[in-house]
C-alpha cells in the first residue's frame, strides 16, 4: 500500500474515490460541504431523503457525479459531532477502508474530518491513519483450503488536506505508520499460528529471518544445553514436561553508538500453556496458543526498530518453551534454582510465565540496560482487573511507567498502571524456598509482577501484562498486535530524545 499526503483542496486531487464524512444526524462535514457545492447540492438532497444518517459504522458508495474528479464518492458516518474524537475518527477510517476493500477501487483520497483533539499533531495523526489502514486490511493467516476471496484492490491512499507547512511532518507520519502496520501484522500472524506450528524452534527461525532481512539486527539462539550452561533452572523446569525443545533467543538491533545503553525487551514465549500438572480447564484452552504474544511483540519491535532505523540500541530476549504435563513434568511443591541463584518453590505449575521470565530478566543484566521492559500474557487476574481495554503496567521506576502510559495514550494502545508496592511481595513467602511462584487469588496481576521484581533490582524495569489485550476471544478470535503500537511510540520517542 502506498500512502501520500496533500495540502490544498481535497476536490482537486486525482483519485478513483473521494471519501468524505457525514456527522449524525445528517450534517455534512467541511469537505463534504465542498463536494456538495461542486455537485449542485445533490449530497444535501440525499441526506434530506433520509437514506444516510451519518451514524458511526455507516457507509455509502456513490457513482461519480458531474463536477467530481474521481469516478466514485464514498460517504462515511462520523457519529455525533460533539463526540467526534480520535476513536470516532479511527472508526470512520476503518469503516471506509473495509467498504473499499470489498470493491475493485485501487486508489482513494481520504478527506475525513479531523478529530477534536488539539493535542494531536500532524505527525501522530498521519501515523495513526497509516496504522489504521494497515490494521483494517489485515487478513487472518488461516489454513483454510477453500477458495479465498480476492485480495483488496486498494493500493494507494492519500490523506488530507494538511497545512502546507505541516506536509513534511505528515509524510513522515505516514512512512512510520506503514512500518508499524507491517510489524504489527508480523506480531498478529505469529500469534494466530497454532501451537503445533509456532513452536520455540519456529520462533527462533523467525528471529533468524529478521537478522537476514535487516543488516542492523543480529541474532543468537540458545538450545537446551546452552540454557543449562546459563543455569536457567526455572526455564528448564517449565520445559521438562514437553517433547518440544526450548529456545532462548537473543536479538540485538544496533541503531546508536556501541556503548549506548540499550532498551532491553523481554518476551514470554510459551507456545502452548496447558497449565502443566496444574492443568487448565478444557474450556477455551486453545487460546493458550496465544501465550507467546509477548515474544511475538518483541520480534515485532525489533523488526520495527530496524525498519525505522531508530537511533537507539534495542535488545530483544525471548524465553520460549511449552508448558505440558507428563511423567517428567515439574510437580507442585518442586523447588528449583533460578539463574540468579534464588530458589523457587513451584506451588502451581500454571504460573509458568514468571518462571521463564525471571531467568530472562536476570540475563538482561549483562546488557547494563537503560530500561528493561517485559511483555507477557501473564495473568488471568489482569484480565479481570482491566478487561480487554488496557494493558497492565507495573514496575520499579515511576518515570518509566509513566513514559509507557503516555506512549500508550498517544498510540491509542492504552495501558494503566497498577500499584506495585512492597506488601504484594510479602504474599510470596514460603517455609521451603526463597520465594513461592504463587500467592493466592487476590491481587494476582500484581503479585506476579512482585515475583518478577525480585529479579530486577538495580535495573529500571517495567512489566506489561497483556493477557487481556493481546488477542480477542469469541467470534472475533484473533491476535490484536497489541502492545506493538504502545512500544512503537515509546521507542520512537526515546530515539528522538
Q: How far is the CB of 238 from Mn ion (least distance, A)?
A: 9
d(CA 412, CA 489): 10
Known active-site residue 354: yes
Q: How far is CA 466 from CA 65, 119, 342, 390, 401, in A?
A: 48, 27, 26, 8, 15
Binding site for Mn ion (CB under 5 A): 273, 350, 352
Half-sphere exposure in the Cβ direction for 470 (13 Å, CA): 32
Question: Using CB distances below 5 to 8 A depending on partner kind, what does residue 79 bind out of Mn ion, Zn ion, ligand BES, none?
Answer: none
Nearer to ligand BES, 56 or 279 (CB): 279
Q: Does 379 bind ligand BES (CB under 6 A)?
A: yes
> Which residue carries 447540492 as its cell?
41
Number of residues that bind ligand BES (CB under 6 A): 16
Q: Does 377 bind ligand BES (CB under 6 A)?
A: yes
Q: Does 374 bind ligand BES (CB under 6 A)?
A: no
Nearer to ligand BES, 207 or 448 (CB): 448
Nearer to ligand BES, 132 or 347 (CB): 347
Nearer to ligand BES, 128 or 292 (CB): 292
Cβ-closest residue to Zn ion?
Answer: 273
Q: Which residue in the set 227, 238, 383, 492 belongs to the binding site for ligand BES (CB under 6 A)?
A: 383
d(CA 280, CA 442): 19
Q: Residue 472's beta-bridge partner residues?
A: 478
Q: How far is the CB of 487 from Mn ion (least distance, A)?
A: 23
CB 338 within 8 A of CB 362: yes
Q: Does 313 bind ligand BES (CB under 6 A)?
A: no
Nearer to Zn ion, 179 or 271 (CB): 271
Residues 460-479 that bind ligand BES (CB under 6 A): 467
Q: How far is the CB of 352 from Zn ion (least distance, A)?
A: 6
Known active-site residue 148: no
Q: How far is the CB of 473 from Mn ion (least distance, A)?
A: 16
Q: How far is the CB of 49 from Mn ion (least distance, A)?
A: 57
Q: Does 352 bind ligand BES (CB under 6 A)?
A: yes
Residues 241-270 that bind Zn ion (CB under 5 A): 270
Selecting among 127, 188, 247, 354, the annotated active-site residue is 354
Q: Does 291 bind Zn ion (CB under 5 A)?
A: yes
- Encoded one letter per residue, x for contact with ligand BES by CB under 6 A and - for no contact, window 425-464 reads -------------x-----x--------------------
Q: Residue 5's beta-bridge partner residues?
A: 159
Nearer to ligand BES, 50 or 474 (CB): 474
- The stretch among 297-305, 330-338, 357-365, 372-380 that binds ligand BES (CB under 6 A) is 372-380
Selecting among 33, 231, 280, 365, the annotated active-site residue is 280
Question: Using CB distances below 5 to 8 A depending on partner kind, what does residue 379 bind out of ligand BES, Zn ion, Mn ion, none?
Answer: ligand BES
Q: How far is the CB of 400 from Zn ion (least distance, A)?
A: 24
Which residues in this chain contact ligand BES in the complex, by CB under 6 A? 273, 291, 348, 350-353, 377-381, 383, 438, 444, 467
Residues of this chain that interact with Zn ion (CB under 5 A) are 270, 273, 291, 353
Catalytically active residues are: 280, 354
Amino acid at each position: 500500500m502506498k500512502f501520500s499526503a496533500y495540502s490544498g483542496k481535497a476536490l482537486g486531487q486525482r483519485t478513483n474515490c473521494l471519501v468524505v464524512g457525514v456527522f449524525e444526524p445528517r450534517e455534512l462535514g467541511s469537505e463534504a460541504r465542498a463536494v456538495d457545492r461542486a455537485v449542485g447540492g445533490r449530497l444535501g438532497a440525499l441526506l434530506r431523503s433520509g437514506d444516510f444518517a451519518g451514524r458511526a459504522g455507516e457507509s455509502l458508495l456513490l457513482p461519480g457525479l458531474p463536477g467530481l474528479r474521481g469516478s466514485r464518492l464514498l460517504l462515511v458516518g462520523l457519529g455525533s459531532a460533539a463526540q467526534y474524537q480520535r476513536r470516532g475518527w479511527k472508526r470512520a477510517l476503518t469503516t471506509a477502508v473495509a467498504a473499499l476493500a470489498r470493491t475493485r477501487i485501487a486508489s482513494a483520497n481520504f478527506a475525513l474530518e479531523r478529530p477534536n483533539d488539539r493535542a494531536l499533531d500532524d505527525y501522530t495523526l498521519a501515523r495513526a491513519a497509516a496504522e489504521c489502514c494497515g490494521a483494517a486490511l489485515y487478513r487472518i493467516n488461516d489454513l483454510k483450503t477453500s477458495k479465498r476471496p480476492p485480495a483488496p484492490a486498494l493500493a494507494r491512499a492519500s490523506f488530507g488536506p494538511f497545512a502546507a507547512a505541516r506536509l513534511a511532518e505528515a509524510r513522515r507520519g505516514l512512512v512510520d505508520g506503514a512500518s508499524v502496520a507491517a510489524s504489527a501484522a508480523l506480531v498478529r500472524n505469529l500469534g494466530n499460528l497454532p501451537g503445533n506450528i509456532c513452536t520455540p524452534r519456529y520462533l527462533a527461525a523467525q528471529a533468524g529471518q529478521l537478522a537476514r532481512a535487516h543488516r542492523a539486527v543480529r541474532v543468537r539462539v540458545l538450545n537446551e544445553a546452552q540454557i543449562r550452561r546459563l543455569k536457567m533452572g526455572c526455564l528448564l523446569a517449565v520445559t521438562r514436561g514437553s517433547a518440544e525443545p526450548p529456545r532462548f533467543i537473543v536479538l540485538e538491533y544496533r541503531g546508536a553508538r556501541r556503548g549506548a545503553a540499550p532498551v532491553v525487551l523481554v518476551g514470554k514465549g510459551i507456545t502452548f500453556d496447558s497449565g502443566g500438572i496444574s492443568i487448565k480447564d478444557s474450556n477455551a484452552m486453545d487460546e493458550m496458543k496465544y501465550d507467546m504474544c509477548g515474544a511475538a511483540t518483541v520480534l515485532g519491535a525489533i523488526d520495527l526498530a530496524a525498519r525505522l532505523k531508530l537511533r537507539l540500541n534495542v535488545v530483544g530476549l525471548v524465553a520460549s518453551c511449552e508448558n505440558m504435563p507428563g511423567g517428567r513434568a515439574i510437580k507442585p511443591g518442586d523447588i528449583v534454582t533460578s539463574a540468579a541463584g534464588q530458589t523457587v518453590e513451584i506451588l502451581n505449575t500454571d504460573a509458568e510465565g514468571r518462571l521463564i521470565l525471571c531467568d530472562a530478566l536476570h540475563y538482561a543484566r549483562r546488557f547494563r540496560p537503560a530500561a528493561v521492559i517485559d511483555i507477557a500474557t501473564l495473568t488471568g487476574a489482569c484480565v479481570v482487573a482491566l478487561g480487554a481495554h488496557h494493558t497492565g503496567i507495573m514496575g520499579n521506576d515511576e518515570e518509566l511507567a509513566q513514559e509507557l502510559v503516555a506512549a500508550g495514550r498517544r498510540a491509542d494502545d492504552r495501558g494503566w498502571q497498577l500499584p506495585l508496592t512492597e506488601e504484594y511481595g510479602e504474599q510470596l513467602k514460603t517455609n521451603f524456598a526463597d520465594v513461592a511462584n504463587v500467592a493466592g487469588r487476590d491481587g494476582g496481576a500484581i503479585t506476579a509482577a512482585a515475583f518478577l521484581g525480585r529479579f530486577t533490582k538495580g535495573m529500571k524495569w517495567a512489566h506489561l501484562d497483556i493477557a487481556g489485550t493481546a488477542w480477542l476471544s469469541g467470534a472475533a478470535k484473533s491476535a490484536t498486535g497489541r502492545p506493538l503500537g504502545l512500544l512503537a511510540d515509546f521507542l520512537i520517542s526515546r530515539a528522538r530524545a
